[in-house]
Chain A
């Protein structure tokens, strides 16, 4: 089946919305993606006809809900080629997944002076939990710097990894769009005896992911960025690692037994799923995985490379020196997330003018303040594209941007 963006757009009801008689131009999918009716109706059908609690009750409704919830896990496992569904833990979001790794794995395996290596392009979710552990236990953070065109500077990687216990990095920058050489980074970590933690928030929704081929140890990602609902995130981890880790949150569902003098944990993955889980969201997520699988992640990636190339060319052609685009120009090593500065107009003001045209972009620091500091600004404008975006939406962005220029010329 060839990639038909017009047909795909029909699957996303919100894209047909108009505000003040102007169509919606949604260019903020790196923040959160829109949802196809497959996901919307799967969730409402479930609530209307089949909702029940999971894992606790013997009646048919509950058994069916449990099947759907565990089915979602199996679909996610297959989507990233995990060895077994029990390696997939459902969380609240990817931020919680990363916190789980730090709170559970790192707290149990790292002590004062132990090193974690991060990169300068990390999201706060892959920085702050480590800072918190550093404050608590005195672990040490080392940082992989960037090259001028926004790639990781790997020239000192071996020195940085020497003696490190963990290397935690993003597969794709949420600001620069840079796609990191994940396999190479994982191999480097393992050569030095460090585990490799991959933040896949920006990569998993946009390209094929195979955790076994990568040889990763952990992968964190979220549903809402991959056309699924909010409220559910994923942590994949190698079974022997997850097995050996202490529990994260305590409560119902995560126990095998509880006595007055202690408790024993449930088997994976329930061990990390305390309390009532996001059952409805898991049903929506399963529909999202089916939807993306039906289109094919190679096709999604190809479409995004095409639109990224068009966007980079068009922005450069129309605005020349008035625009500074951060990151690489090579679409082979970047995804469809484009951060830029436009003249001296503040990103917040740019986005305000774009909003008058229903062009939705993110303006701000994108939860990556250390990276912003490197870029020498407090904020950028970020346009991010997904499978449903078109070249004419790139044109709409450019038209609106011209107006911002006229308005704010200093």
Chain B
């Protein structure tokens, strides 16, 4: 049986205790909301896109350590990145969470940085939804921002 340390890696607890990019953005930044109906977790993603680049991102809402740390790491990973790269990262992260969306195998050559720590979540299938919540909410924000 996987132990707690497989799930709650130090870097995860660090992001949970000191979340990055907490807050909100005023319009015209896009705001989307995600819910995990199972446990009541809520995530808000505020997204500002300038010239095809994520110029700013803020995270609101509340939830468990996995959903909150995943959102925090995600915000740090996508800030300043071009939209195409972010879309690719979303697919790659979901692939890492063993969510198959039927697309091509993502390119896994680039290092994932802190996000690598969330790999252990896969061993706790109930928690995959927690880890993916903010990523789905970001994907929705991207749709809105580029619509």
- Which of B40, B42, B124 sits near A352, CB closer than 8 Å? B124
B17 and A349 contacting across the interface, CB-CB below 8 Å: no
Asked whether any CB of chain A lies closer than 8 Å to the CB of B7, the reply is yes
Contact residues in B for A364 (Cβ distance below 8 Å): 38-40
**Inter-chain contact count A-B, CB under 8 Å?**
49
Specify which of A20, A378, A410 lies most central, judged by the most chain B CB atoms within 10 Å of its CB: A378
- Which of A19, A348, A378, A410 sits near B17, CB closer than 8 Å? A410
Main secondary structure on chain B at its contact with chain A?
Answer: mixed
Contact residues in A for B124 (Cβ distance below 8 Å): 352
Residue of A nearest to B7 (CB): A352
Minimum CB–CB distance from A402 to chain B (whole Å) comes to: 14
Could you give, for residues 360-376 of chain A, a 1 whenever the CB lies within 8 Å of some chain B CB and a 0 otherwise?
00011100010010000
The size class of the interface chain A forms with chain B is 10 to 19
| B22-59 CB contacts (< 8 Å) to partner A | 38-42
- Which of A353, A365, A407 sits near B39, CB closer than 8 Å? A365
Also in contact, A356 and B4, with CB within 8 A (given A365-B39, A372-B40, A410-B17): yes
Roughly how many angstroms separate A369 CA and B64 CA in the complex, as a whole number?
Answer: 17
Asked whether any CB of chain A lies closer than 8 Å to the CB of B147, the reply is no
Contact residues in B for A356 (Cβ distance below 8 Å): 3-4
Also in contact, A346 and B4, with CB within 8 A (given A365-B39, A378-B40): no
Roughly how many angstroms separate A365 CA and B38 CA in the complex, as a whole number?
Answer: 8
Residue of B nearest to A403 (CB): B4
Asked whether any CB of chain A lies closer than 8 Å to the CB of B63, the reply is yes
| B58-108 CB contacts (< 8 Å) to partner A | 62-66, 68
The size class of the interface chain B forms with chain A is 20 to 34
Roughly how many angstroms separate A352 CA and B8 CA in the complex, as a whole number?
Answer: 10
A378 and B127 contacting across the interface, CB-CB below 8 Å: no
| A12-29 CB contacts (< 8 Å) to partner B | 19-20
A349 and B40 contacting across the interface, CB-CB below 8 Å: no
Contact residues in A for B17 (Cβ distance below 8 Å): 410
Asked whether any CB of chain A lies closer than 8 Å to the CB of B130, the reply is yes
Specify which of B7, B63, B64 lies most central, judged by the most chain A CB atoms within 10 Å of its CB: B64
Contact residues in A for B110 (Cβ distance below 8 Å): none
A369 and B1 contacting across the interface, CB-CB below 8 Å: no
Also in contact, A20 and B1, with CB within 8 A (given A378-B40, A408-B65): yes
Minimum CB–CB distance from A95 to chain B (whole Å) comes to: 16
Minimum CB–CB distance from B34 to chain A (whole Å) comes to: 13
Minimum CB–CB distance from B111 to chain A (whole Å) comes to: 28
- Which of B1, B3, B38, B64 sits near A346, CB closer than 8 Å? B64
Also in contact, A349 and B39, with CB within 8 A (given A407-B8, A410-B17): no
Supply 10 A–B pairs (Cβ within 8 Å), ascending by A: A348-B39, A348-B41, A349-B64, A352-B4, A352-B124, A363-B39, A364-B39, A364-B40, A365-B40, A378-B42
Question: Given known contacts A346-B64, A369-B40, what 13 new A-B pairs fall within 8 Å (CB)?
Answer: A346-B63, A346-B68, A348-B65, A352-B7, A352-B127, A364-B39, A364-B40, A365-B39, A378-B41, A379-B40, A407-B4, A407-B8, A408-B13
